[in-house]
């Protein structure tokens, strides 16, 4: 019997698999399709201090091997999340990580502080891909000093919750941002968020999304995400003892195992859930079969086991 349990900065998960933020709502949306107790942890969509209606439609468009979305962080806001969604999440029976977004630092702090004494919440995942309105709209996550500033400010408001910082791939060197947030107190990293992209309607000569640009997810970004996880693991996370939650285009056990070998301890699945809401079960079984086939007792034995062809 293979042990699939993993430890994310002190939070014990029965297996490495989680939902990717924003792709499974607040959980109840998926309960008719999939037994959520099979998850290692549930990750909510981004929560902001005030409710947000999100962007105008069209907000989603399919691409070859991918999905482009510009939902615009639509969510019920902190007060309704606490009143209505937390009681539902309490019935799940698995640890919950709440993804937190903000247009300015004070918004992150308000939400993170309010979650610090909610028992079912075990961690916050900081979405630093949001534009910082006070700094001219540049994303918090693309500049090391800003990424570090939001991380260290949030860290002191976390209380019992672990702080997972979610990295954007839309940067020159993701390891530089990882280093900044780890030094600023991140307990774990999750990566990657979507890649900024555009799809054009050649008849109207306009972008298909009302927002013009969106975030690309799904199999198209998987090799990029695997590379970035490996880079952050070898440059920053391994030495710092900080676990990585890998995501981006996982659709089967093979893609999941790639992330584990590259250095991820946890795994999140998003876009693939739209095509097959039950895929997490087969991915979990596939990981267990792989471990058994190669003579491993625990999933941790293959984390970072990748051997490069060239010495670095």
Neighbours of 56 (CB within 10 A): 11
Regarding 20 and contact with ligand FMN (CB under 6 A), the answer is: yes
Q: Which is nearer to ligand FMN, 204 or 227 (CB)?
A: 227
The distance of Cα 104 from the centroid of its chain, to the nearest Å, equals 20
Site string for ligand FMN, 245-284 (x = CB under 6 A): --xxxx------------------xxxx------------
Write phi, then psi, for 220 (nearest 5 degrees). -55, -30
Residue for token pair 């962007």: 55
Q: Which is nearer to ligand FMN, 168 or 307 (CB)?
A: 168
The residues in 118-177 that bind ligand FMN, with binding defined as CB under 6 A, are 127, 166
130 is catalytic: yes
Which residue's Cβ lies closest to ligand FMN? 22
Q: Closest approach of Cβ 310 to ligand FMN, in Å?
A: 28
Q: Which is nearer to ligand FMN, 46 or 132 (CB)?
A: 46
Q: Which 3-state string (H, E, C) describes the chain?
A: CCECCEEECCEEECCCEEECCCCCCCCHHHCCCCCHHHCCEEECCCECCCCECCCCCCCEEEECCEEEECCCCCECHHHHHHHHHHHHHHCCCCCEEEEECCCCHHHHHHHHHHHCCCCCEEEEEEECCCECHHHCCCEHHHCHHHHHHHHHHHHCCCCCCEEEEECCCCCCCHHHHHHHHHHCCCCEEEECCCEEECCEECCCCEECCCCCCEEEECHHHHHHHHHHHHHHHHHHHHHHCCCEEEECCCCCHHHHHHHHHHCCCEEEECCHHHHCCCHHHHHHHHHHHHHHHCCCCEHHHHCCCCCCCCCC
Considering the candidates 24, 130, 158, 279, report the single residue annotated as catalytic.
Answer: 130
Q: Which is nearer to ligand FMN, 74 or 310 (CB)?
A: 74
Q: How many residues bind ligand FMN (CB under 6 A)?
A: 26
d(CA 9, CA 163): 9
Among 15, 48, 69, 151, indicate the residue that binds ligand FMN (CB under 6 A).
69
Per CB under 6 A, the segment of 49-57, 214-222, 236-244, 287-295 that binds ligand FMN is 214-222
Per CB under 6 A, the segment of 69-77, 85-93, 133-141, 300-308 that binds ligand FMN is 69-77
Among 48, 139, 151, 194, indicate the residue that binds ligand FMN (CB under 6 A).
194
- Do residues 246 and 191 lie in contact, with contact meaning Cβ atoms separated by under 8 Å? yes
Q: Which is nearer to ligand FMN, 64 or 119 (CB)?
A: 64
Site string for ligand FMN, 74-113 (x = CB under 6 A): -------------------------x--------------
List, in order, residues 6 or more apart from 136 with CB less than 8 Å away: none
Among 139, 161, 217, 265, indicate the residue that binds ligand FMN (CB under 6 A).
217
Regarding 243 and contact with ligand FMN (CB under 6 A), the answer is: no
Q: Closest approach of Cβ 203 to ligand FMN, in Å?
A: 25
Regarding 71 and contact with ligand FMN (CB under 6 A), the answer is: yes
Q: Which is nearer to ligand FMN, 62 or 297 (CB)?
A: 62
- Catalytic center residues: 130
Judged by the rule CB under 6 A, the positions of this chain that interact with ligand FMN are: 20-23, 45-46, 67, 69, 71, 73, 99, 127, 166, 193-194, 217-218, 221, 247-250, 269-272
């Amino acid at each position: 019997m293979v042990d699939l349990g993993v430890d994310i900065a002190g939070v014990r998960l029965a297996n490495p698999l989680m939902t990717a933020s924003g792709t499974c709502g607040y959980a109840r949306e998926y309960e008719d399709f999939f037994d959520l107790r099979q998850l290692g942890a549930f990750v909510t969509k981004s929560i902001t201090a005030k409710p947000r209606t999100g962007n105008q439609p069209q907000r989603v468009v399919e691409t070859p091997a991918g999905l482009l979305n510009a939902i615009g962080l639509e969510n019920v806001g902190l007060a309704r999340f606490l009143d209505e969604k937390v009681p539902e999440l309490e019935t799940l029976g698995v640890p919950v990580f709440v993804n937190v977004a903000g247009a300015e630092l004070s918004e992150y702090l308000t939400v993170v502080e309010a979650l610090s004494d909610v028992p079912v919440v075990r961690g916050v995942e900081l979405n630093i891909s949001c534009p910082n309105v006070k700094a001219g709209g540049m994303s918090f996550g693309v500049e090391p000093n800003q990424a570090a500033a939001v991380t260290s400010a949030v860290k002191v408001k976390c209380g019992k919750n672990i702080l997972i910082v979610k990295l954007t791939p839309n940067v020159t060197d993701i390891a530089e941002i990882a280093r900044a947030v780890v030094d600023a107190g991140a307990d774990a990293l999750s990566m990657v968020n979507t890649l900024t992209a555009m799809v054009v309607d050649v008849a109207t000569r306009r972008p298909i999304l009302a927002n013009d640009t969106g975030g690309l997810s799904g199999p198209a970004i998987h090799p990029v995400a695997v590379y970035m996880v490996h880079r952050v693991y070898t440059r920053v996370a391994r030495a710092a003892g900080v676990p990585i939650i890998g995501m981006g285009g996982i659709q089967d056990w093979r893609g999941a195992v790639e992330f584990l070998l590259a250095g991820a301890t946890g795994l999140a699945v998003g876009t693939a859930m739209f095509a097959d809401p039950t895929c997490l079960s087969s991915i979990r079984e596939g990981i267990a079969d792989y471990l058994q086939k190669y003579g491993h007792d625990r999933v941790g034995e293959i984390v970072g086991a990748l051997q490069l062809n060239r010495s670095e």
